[in-house]
Amino acid sequence: MESGIAAGRGGGEGGGMATKEPIGFIGTGIMGAGMARNLHKAGFPLTVWNRTRERTRPLAEEGIAVSESVRALAEASAVVILCLGDTPDVEAVLFGEGGAACGDAAGKLFIDCSTISPEATKAIAARLTEHGAAFLDAPVSGGSEGAAKGTLSIMVGGAAEDVRRARPAFEAMGRTVTHVGPHGAGQMVKLVNQILVAGSMLAMGEALNFARAGGLDLETTLAAVKDGAAGSWTLSNRGPQVIAEDWRPGFTIDLQLKDLRLVRETADALGVPTFGTDNATSLYRLLQRAGLGGAGNHALIKAFDRSDAASAP
């Protein structure tokens, strides 16, 4: 296994693409749009596709080609990157009628930046191998800000030679690229990441609610603790949003719950406890039932003072 971290762009480990291969990007939502823009800025020949075509309009206005179908996109691309919502979405886009892997996939590299089931990922890799294609699972972390700025952390599962081939594209989208193991390992590390995210959101919500109840000024309190032992990316980046009651999503509650479901399914298969994840899941479900599924996952604090959340419209 090739391992290690590459910081910045253009500093990747040996090899890589002598020329920039044509890339097809599938899924231009909260994360995908920013990632696609950074590939375009880096000079990759790029074509995008999204199920809701309207979401590709801003990209088209910036000069990025939009494909009429995933099949056409794949046929025109050497590398196909997916950034989709859940496991069934990835399977359908790849292997459904007119899917990206249904034509001549030999020699192509498929990269899945979605967060999906690690076990399903292994099966997807095996199916693509049967089609003569290579595959990497490469979920990302860093929120919509990281996607827009090209500073994502990318955790990659797959063969070392495929990671080397993909590294120039990864470095256009992210700041930290880590090859963590074989197929499925990228998704497992992403679930580790999501356990940590859920725990930090839970702690931040509890702490700021406690501070508010105690009559503290929240901005002053945040300034006092964010650079100490309790500091975190979540506190520095989402704490100010909580204080401003700005619930715009860098990552939605709906997507957070999907990821925590994947954590729980995998944990059940492994036979390990997930106490903090279970608590966060219960609170996020309360907010989702209250109609807040599209809010940012930092809105978890609302669950601490919404005794009526379960019945709210």
- Burial class of residue 2, CB neighbours in 10 A (0-12, 13-18, 19+): middle
DSSP, res 56: G
Residue 170 CA to its chain's centroid (Å):
13
Asked if residue 148 lies in contact with residue 114, where contact means CB atoms within 8 angstroms, the answer is no
The verdict on whether 20 is a catalytic residue reads: no
Task: Report how far residue 159's alpha carbon sits from residue 154's, in angstroms, rounded to the nearest whole number.
Answer: 15
List phi, psi (to 5°) of 4: 130, 175
Cα torsion at 165, 169, 174, 180 (round to 10°)?
Answer: -20
Pairing state between β 140-141 and 152-157: antiparallel
Task: Report how far residue 108's alpha carbon sits from residue 298's, in angstroms, rounded to the nearest whole number.
Answer: 38
Residue of 149, 190, 226, 258 marked active site: 190
List phi, psi (to 5°) of 15: 85, -135
Active-site annotation, residues: 190
